[in-house]
Chains A and B, each alone.
Chain A
Amino acid sequence: MNTLSLWFHKFGSPPTFYRLSRLLCPWLFAAACLIGAVGLYAGLVLAPADYQQSDAYRIIFIHVPCAWMSLFAYIFMAANAFIAVVWRIKISEILAMASAPVGAMFTAVTLLTGAIWGKPMWGTWWTWDARLTSELVLLFLYLGVIGLFSAIEDRRQAARAAGFLALIGIVNVPIVHFSVNWWNTLHQGSTVRLLGPSRIDASMLWPLLLMALATHIWFFASVLARSRSSVLEQESGKEWVREIVQAQGVRRE
């Protein structure tokens, strides 16, 4: 814990974090856009059409990376929340709360693209499958975290409370997944094979991996951008913020 707290105190001090993120943010966004553009081109144009689903399958280049990100963002949020609740490290509180809306967005996109894909493939927008239901519960958990965070006046207390909820949620998601799976075996009528044990061709895999990389970078870029503004907001009384504001004012004149 000692090295960890030392590391956090060095890189987690708000001024250092602010400068670092201001430096990194534009590059990360640019890289995410570039890689995303290449990935989309490769996925939508270069990759061959599926022999079963023809061109409709191409939505996976959005859907699957977003689904991965919805889980990754939650794990990232929960890890930061754990650090925030246990060691009360401010940057972790901010990072956890900044990743909640981004993760919620990825989850919403996953659900939406899943529904759009589902309509031509299975003839229905929605099915009560374990994967879909867990994703929906995941969205509710994100919304709960965001709601709790915005309902408490004191920012740091809000972040700790919402972080605590995120930690409860991370226990809940696998349980929901398991319970819905069990429930599906009980109601066998409505089972739809979503993603069978299909092997994906290399020509489709590399655009998918590129897209996954792009969404990861995009996630970090937007979390950093969000955290940067909340750092400024929470530290608005501090000397280093005043210096930055004054410096920017001078530049603008």
Chain B
Amino acid sequence: MDTPCPGPSPAACWLTIADLHANNALQFASATGKFHAPMHSQATADPVPLLSARALAFSRNEEPIFGPIDFSLHAGEVVLIEGDNGSGKTTLLKVLSGLLLPSSGTIELHGETLTMSRLSQQVALMGHLPGLKADLTALENLEFSIGVFGLRAGNTPLLALASLGLQGYEHVAVRLLSAGQKKRVALARLLLVPAALWLLDEPYANLDKEGIDLVNRLLEAHARRGGAALITSHGAYAFTSGSPRRLPLRPAA
């Protein structure tokens, strides 16, 4: 069968929010470690994970949204967080990016604790909203992001747009682009900014089959370069769909 992620694909671990809610954090951590150890020697060779969360929990109005969870993400890993609507996937990404203050627990990036007063250069978040100004062109939007976040070596906005199949749209106002094209511009931003950790909220939404393949190729390339990504998806499609590396992690009852 045609897997959407050919070649040396990064291990995707199928992490459900149900698992996140379960308090057996230790078991989850060990399960991840056990699974990844033989596949990614690089991940275990590097003792400091790119991202690690300890006893991370968030609650709103005393209602626990998720957690407490423990996990770590090493360079070269792509982890898929799967859960139903309202299970706290988006909130988890917002907390990890530093937009929201966790109710308890700590987040470490490269071993350094993340604080709200100074966020890391290493994290890029792509939320539900594309984060593009409708009246600016795709190129101008990307230039703004480069000014704020910086530029990855060996890339330019034009190259990034071309690699996402948006040649010819560089100077078109974003307002005139379709939802899928806007998503591609937002993805181009990820390619440009020098962040090692991508936090992608529903990266497959609004994309056609070709676009989904494209996202998967981007994720692979990013992981091969030593980056890491955390993706949410509420559907059982896309990155892990039909993939033999699909990894449902189920806690023991």
Contacts and interface: CB of A to CB of B under 8 A. Distances in A.
Q: Do A and B come from one complex?
A: yes
A146 to B, nearest CB: 20
B118 interface: no
Contacts of A249: none
Interface residues of A, number: 7
B2 interface: no
Dominant secondary structure at the A interface: loop
Contacts of A235: 62
B52 to A, nearest CB: 25
A152 to B, nearest CB: 12
A216 interface: no
A34 to B, nearest CB: 38
B61 interface: yes
Contacts of A237: 62-63
Interface in B53-78: 60-63
A226 interface: no
Given A156-B61, A234-B61, A234-B62, 8 more contacts: A154-B60, A154-B61, A155-B61, A156-B60, A235-B62, A237-B62, A237-B63, A238-B62
B2 to A, nearest CB: 45
Nearest to B59: A156
Contacts of B63: 237
A234 to B, nearest CB: 7
B122 to A, nearest CB: 27
Nearest to B63: A237
A87 to B, nearest CB: 13
A237 B60 CA distance: 13
Interface size class of B (residues with CB under 8 A): under 10
Nearest to A90: B62
Interface in A206-234: 234
A154 B62 CA distance: 11
Contacts of B62: 234-235, 237-238
Interface of A: 154-156, 234-235, 237-238
| 3 cross-chain pairs, A with B, having the tightest CB-CB distances, nearest first | A156-B61, A155-B61, A154-B61
B61 to A, nearest CB: 6
B203 to A, nearest CB: 28
Contacts of B60: 154, 156
Contacts of A234: 61-62
Contacts of B61: 154-156, 234
Nearest to A236: B62
Nearest to A155: B61
A238 B60 CA distance: 14
Nearest to A14: B62
11 contacts: A154-B60, A154-B61, A155-B61, A156-B60, A156-B61, A234-B61, A234-B62, A235-B62, A237-B62, A237-B63, A238-B62
Nearest to A153: B61
Contacts of A156: 60-61
Nearest to A238: B62
B199 to A, nearest CB: 22
A237 B63 CA distance: 9
A237 B59 CA distance: 13
B59 to A, nearest CB: 10
Contacts of A154: 60-61
A234 B59 CA distance: 13
Interface string B225-243: 0000000000000000000
A235 B62 CA distance: 8
A156 B62 CA distance: 9
A234 B63 CA distance: 10
A179 B61 CA distance: 41
Nearest to A88: B101
**Which residue, of B60, B62, B63, has the highest number of chain A Cβ atoms within 10 A?**
B62
A155 B62 CA distance: 11
Interface in B142-185: none
Interface in B65-124: none
A235 B63 CA distance: 10
A103 B117 CA distance: 35
